[in-house]
Each structure stands twice: as C-alpha cells, then as structure tokens.
Chain A
Amino acid sequence: MESQINSGDTAFILISAALVMLMTIPGLALFYSGLVRRKNVLGTIMQSFILVGLITIQWVLVGYSLSFGPDRMGLIGGFEWFGLSGVGLDPNPDYAATIPHQAFMIYQAMFAIITPCLIAGAFAERMKFSAFIIFSLLWATIVYDPLAHWVWGVGGWMRTMGALDFAGGTVVHISSGISALAAAIVMGKRIGYMRDPMPPHNMTLVVIGAALLWFGWFGFNAGSALSSGGLATSAFVVTHIAAAAASITWTFVEWMRHGKPTILGAASGAVAGLVAITPAAGFVGPISAILIGISVGIVCFIAVVILKNKLGYDDSLDAFGVHGVGGTLGALATGLFASKAINPAGADGLFFGNPGQLGIQVLATVVTAVFSFVATLIILKVIDLVIGIRVQEEDEIMGLDLSQHNETGYTF
C-alpha cells in the first residue's frame, strides 16, 4: 500500500489544507472584523478563531466519520471512523488513491471549519458567544456533515445522482449562505439598523482579509483535484479568472450606478467570483470562467446593494448575498458550462449538449437550500428557547468585545 503514495500529490494536498486554513484565520476573520464597528472587532475575529479549535475536535471525533465514513442509505456516514479509527496513513482509494487517508481527512477538516464561520456574517455584532458555540457545533453535525456525505461521500445520494460540485459550491457556500439568511431572519436586526450609521470600522483589514481569501482559495479549489497535475492546474486557472472577472465587474457596475468605484466593491466582487467558481472549477474552461465571473459580479451586486435593502433583513456582512446567491449561481452555472473536454470524470452541461445536467444541479441546489434553511431555523429556535441567542440590549450597545470577552481591540 505504501508504494501508492505519491509524494508530489501529498505535498500539494498538505499545503492546500494549510491554505484553506489561512482562509478562515486570518482571512475571513479579518474580512469580517473590518466590516463591523470597532467595538465588535475582537468578538468577530473570535468567532472564526474558536471554530478552528472546536470544529477540528468535532471533525476528528465524529464529523469526518459522519461525512465520509461507510454509507448508510445514501444519507449519512456511519460511526465506524469515530476518533479517526481506521483512518491512517495508507491511501483510501475511494477518495484519493495517491495520498495518505489522513491527508484527505485534514484537508476536508479545513472545509468543515470555514463553512460555519461564513454564516457568522449574517448575525454579526449581536449573537451571544455561548449560543454561537452551541449553534456552530450543532450546525456542523446536523447540517454540514450530512451534506458533505450526500455530495462527496461514497454512496451519498447526490454524488450517485451525478451532481457536480468540485470544491464545495453546495456543501460550503449554498449551505452557509442559505443558513445565513435563516439566521438573519431569526436573529432580527441590529439595534439602530437603518437608523444609525454602521460603516466598516477598518477597510484595510477588509482588503487584507479578502486578499488572503483569494490566495487561500487556490488551495480550496485546485486542491480539490486531490492530485497535483493537469486538473489542479485547470481549477487553479479558472478560479483566478473568475475572481478577476467578478472583481472588475462589481467595481464597474458600482462606478456606473453610484459614481465612484470602491475598494469594498472590488473586494466583494472578488469573493463573489471565487464563490461562484467553486463548484465549477475543474469542470469548466477559461471563457466559461469569465462568463461566470461577470454574471456573479452583477447578480451579487444586485442582491447585496438593492435586494437586501428592499427586503429589509439585516444580513449584516452579506453572507447570504455573497455566498448564498453566488453559490447558487455557481451550482447552476456548472450545469451550463461543465465540459468533459476539461474533466473526463465530470459531465457535459447544457451548453455542451447535456440539458439533463442542469436539472440535476437544480435539484441538488434546491434540496441543499431547503434542508439548510429549515435545519438552521430549527436549531436556532431551540437554542433561543433554552439559553437565548441574542446578547442583552445593553451588551449589544457596549459591543461584543467588552460584553462577551472583556477585551478591547484598540487601546490608544
């Protein structure tokens, strides 16, 4: 068995795992914390940081087994791999034949970590830390692990059906983005929303965070090839193209509509492009990537700048507007642009003569969205009944840094 391990592939996946961790801390942590008011900077960073710890342990104990363990009726993995029992250094050819099983496991752990962190953008600046921890652990176990099994696990029903999701468009972005919408609705608006100014307190942090997300995303998407050859290169290239196209699209749409191009627009567009290309990378070519980037730049701009204000929910940092909307667009676009010429193990999409693929993508998207929304709603309602999910009014006005952690981000 030892001889099957390819050192190039193993090195690439371990580095990719580290890159995906970089997306969460400090990438996402900085991106989100710059967007909030200064009194919540540490509370926001803490939400990402603590989940690196918590979800890692959850993943090692039960999460990995539930997600990738031996299949139960296409719905969930069994407990056979509890505590990584049997998950050793020999390859598991079901998932990746040329790297140690533990390399695959730790790479997937980083995906499990970042996904609940993304949701936090919806309820930023007002969730109780204790409730956040319970919610994230329950969400990872009840929502993420089954979804990962459906889409990626051997025997998972979406995988068997032929749904294409290269790097987590459904599992990571639709699930977290739709859950974010549910969370924003259950949580309610921040005190003073639409009345008091709530501009980002540090745009430079936002830009550093977005740049680290872009950088780490190469590990996220190219690494999902699980080997370091042509497929990884193709995924890497289209990932970069889509981010570039979406970034300039958002910026120019904003420039035309509001008269000024903003760095927040350029950063938001880049993230939207990365979200949309996530399921499609590894299945689509460069021109498709440009089209996906342009369309997600326009659609997410509309969702964040126009739709949110019309509908009135307080998705504070646009987790739904970027990840939910962008992820949905990406999953559907995969059904349009996928091509066997890029990846023979994939499928052709509608534009390459296979309209059936779009139907499969629609089904996978709708089921993921409904499941995530309902499950998140129930989890949050139950936690709210038991311990309450929202901080006291006084604590919200004082800020999470002081009220939840007894610290302040800036001392001058």
Chain B
Amino acid sequence: MVRVDGNGNGTSLIRVRNLDKKYQRGSEEIHVLQGLNLDVEQGDFVAFMGPSGSGKTTLLNLLGGLDVPTSGSITVAGDEVTAMSAKKLTGWRARHVGFIFQMYNLIPVLTAFGNVELPLLLTRLSKAQRRKHVETVLDLVGLADRMHHYPRQLSGGQEQRVAIARAIVTDPTFLLADEPTGDLDRRSADEIMELIGRLVHEHGKTVLMVTHDPRAADRAHAVLHLDKGVLVESAGEAPRR
C-alpha cells in the first residue's frame, strides 16, 4: 500500500520522511520539496506526475542516491540512505537501484551485451556468470538476437529495452524510471510499459516512475502528484492489476 501521509507502518520497503530540498538559482532560493512523506512497499508500482519543475526528477534522484536532500530522511530496506557518505552511496546504488532514463543513456561504444554487463562488473561474478545473467535479461526483454548490436543499430524502443535489461540485471531492490516512454512513439511506449508491467507483476519488482504520460501512469498501482513540494494521491487511485 502506497501512503503519502507519513503514517506508514514499519513494513515499508521505502520510507521517506519530511524530505526537504532547496536549490539556489542565482539569488533565488527554490524550495522544491517541502516536507515530503512517502511509503512504498515491496512490489508496488508508483507513478509520479506533475508539471515541469515540480520536483519529480529531483525526488527520483534523491531516492536513487544521486543527490542529497537539504533535510529529511530516506530509508530503503532498513538502510538510511540519507546518512550515507558519498562513497558508501555509490556502492549502495550499485546493489539496490536500477535506473531507467528517458534518453536510455546507453554507452554508444559498447554493444547491447556490453551495456547490460556494465553493472555486473561491479559484482564478484565470474565472466561466465556475467554472460549467463546478461543473456537471461536480454532474453527477458526480447533482445537476445540483438546482443551484439551497438545502440546506434537499435530503434528507440529497443534501446530502452536494453536500458531496462541493464537496470534489472543485478536484481536491484527497486527500479527508478525517469520518463521511460518520454522519447518514444506510441507503440514503442506501450511495449515498454508492457515490459515494466511484467517486471512488476511477474517478477515482483518495485518500480517508481516519473511520467507525463497518463497512459503510462494508468499502469501504476498508485499515481501520485507533486504539488507544492509534497505528494498528493490522485483522485480515484488506479486499480491494482
């Protein structure tokens, strides 16, 4: 059950309390997040919506340990992320977070295989084990036959599927998706959302997604709107599929 009132019970996978984030832009101070609360349980699929500049991506970056809040805390599976040093945070990201970006962010000079293998280089897996993992996830996203293609040889939808494979190959605690369909045509977008839906429902992944696309948001268990620096539940929560 996703909650935004700060009264979640102790079973939450992700627990955010009184999260504040201020930016200094020139002489102007921008207060993006203002005492934001969030509780997400294992297997939840949450969509964050809101106008540009409302702080969706900032929230995602904070959840992923890419940025540090001005105050407040984020706890994931019992670890307080906001208390970690930068070095510890780097290691934590490698183990617990899978990132999916709007622009895919594949490394252009590496093949699909090389891109997906990248996060596994940070593990103790042997070369053979890495190969097996990569082949498994590329098969899962339906690109086993494109393993040795470079990103420029793939369509946008295929690139995003490689990026998803890269995000799940280490079996992270949760996935963060920043506008995963933002750069795709309708059909590719549907395919990607289908894939993310399968990861949630068939593989029990926890997904937090920022999107502008209501059709994408429809697939989430909960759609939360960022409004004046806090999250509010959208009227009529989407049904759990």
Q: Does B associate with A? A: no
